[in-house]
Amino acid sequence: MKKLIIDQTTNTPKVYLDPDENYFKISGESRPEDVRTFYTEILNWFEDYSTHLEGSGERKKQLAFDFDFDYFNSSSGKYILDFCKQIASAHSKGLDIAVRWHYEKDDVDMLQAGSELSRLAHFPFDFIQKVPS
């Protein structure tokens, strides 16, 4: 399975989905002009990846997905929710998956957004407060 790496721009987040390193992270700002095209690639990749794991002996290793957004618009939020629902579905099929939602200490909106996505996806997130650098 190939990794999916998309470099961050001023409007799109960095996407790093690497099954060889077992490292999965989306971070930065998400407000792409063509949100459907941007997130469809990610959704398709994960669908292929979870299908691959279901048919292999690799399904027992834990996968952890880190979401570390500075900002995302409502259009992105819909696709982020779709991705979280895919993760929940894969988990219900026996894959060991954790979602870690990162947020700044004073960013109540981002914490609430993660809580709402967790609730809507019917999947518990781990909430991680970022440590100031």
Instruction: Give tens-digit pLDDT for 60-83.
Output: 678 999 999 999 999 999 999 999
Render pLDDT for 112-122 as a digit per residue (tens, 0 to 9): 999 999 999 99
Rounded CA separation 101/97 (Å): 13
Over residues 107-114, the mean pLDDT reads 97
On whether the pTM is more than 0.85, the answer is yes
Query: How do the domains of the chain map onto residue ranges?
Result: 4-129
CA 121 – CA 119 distance, rounded (Å):
6
Q: What CATH architecture applies to the domain 4-129?
A: 2-Layer Sandwich (3.30)
Beta-bridge mates of residue 102: 128
Residues 6 or more apart whose Cβ sits within 8 Å of residue 32: 11, 12, 38, 39, 76
